Amino acid sequence: MVVSMVEYERADGVAVVTIDRPEARNAIDRETARGLRDAWERFEDDDGALVGVLTGAGGTFSAGADLEKMDLEETEDGWLGFTRKRVEKPTIAAVEGYCVAGGLEMALWCDLRVAAESATFGCFERRFGVPLVDGGTQRLPRLVGRGRALDMILTGRVVDADTALDWGLADRVTDDGNALNAAVELAETIAEFPQETVRTDRAALYDGLGTSLEAGLEIEAEYGRGVLDVADAGAERFSAGEGRGGAGIDED
């Protein structure tokens, strides 16, 4: 299905959201931002979609806001359509080529990032005086630390895939042209786990950020109490011989 310049496709438990403006390096204009908002709302409402993957068509993730049109509007979900939206399921960015400016902010919105070897990350909007308004100033330091985030934000430096991996900005690096396949494979692995606890553990992590350890432990405990039946069922499967020796866990 095509929603504006955004495609939403689902195979089994994995939904792929594709920014489809390759002629503009997948830059985001108002229509595309609305399409992204609609796609992630569809993902959240799609009971069969367990993990979402965000990518760009034509070998580029996204160059950020479309500075030629400059027609974006601020909404409660962010300038780029979804960057202030919270979804309750895991998300992965599949990054080929440029992932810069607002493109970087969209990738930071995702839980994980799979990057091709020649992927390029950076706050390139620095050159044009465009502010980071889609979460970059808040999410980037949480991933790479204050010093590295300030280096990227203040200088607009280019960060390659290997550096991104070393810093924790990327979680996997794969061959050029394979980022989407690798991201989908990772998503399929996550989709195979019991989703109740995938989601509650994820929510506990996010809700605990910025709190004291004591408050965070209580948040974790509260979420955990709600899924003890899932844990009991898992313990029974383990006792019956399933999953011994770490079977079913990605070792990459």
Q: What is the pTM (predicted TM-score) of this model?
A: 0.92
What are 172-185's pLDDT values in tens digits?
999 999 999 999 99
> pLDDT at position 248, please?
62
pLDDT at 249 over 70: no
Pairing of strands 6-11, 14-19: antiparallel
Q: Known catalytic residues? A: 105, 125
The mean pLDDT value for 127-150 works out to: 97
The radius of gyration computed from the CA coordinates of the chain, to the nearest angstrom, equals 19
Tokens of 55: 């990518």
The three-state DSSP-derived secondary structure of the chain is CEECCEEEEEECCEEEEEECCHHHCCCECHHHHHHHHHHHHHHHHCCCCCEEEEEEHHHCCECCECCCCCCCCCCCCCCCCCCCCCCCCCEEEEECCEEECHHHHHHHHCCEEEEECCCEEECHHHHHCCCCCCCHHHHHHHHHCHHHHHHHHHHCCCEEHHHHHHHCCCCEEECCCCHHHHHHHHHHHHHCCCHHHHHHHHHHHHHHCCCCHHHHHHHHHHHHHCCHHHHHHHHHHHHCCCCHHHCCCCCC
Neighbours of 51 (CB within 10 A): 27
CA distances from 233 to 13, 30, 49, 229, 240 (A): 21, 47, 23, 6, 11
**Residue 1 pLDDT grade (very low, low, confident, very high; cuts 50, 70, 90):** very low
pLDDT at 3 over 50: no
> pLDDT at position 124, please?
97
Question: Nearest 5°: CA angle at 192, between 85 and 15?
Answer: 40
| Rounded Cα gap, residues 109 and 47, in angstroms | 21
pLDDT at 167 over 60: yes
What are 52-100's pLDDT values in tens digits?
999 999 999 999 999 999 999 999 999 999 999 999 999 999 999 999 9
Tokens of 109: 């919105």
| Rounded Cα gap, residues 19 and 48, in angstroms | 21
In the block, tokens 């990459």 appear at: 252
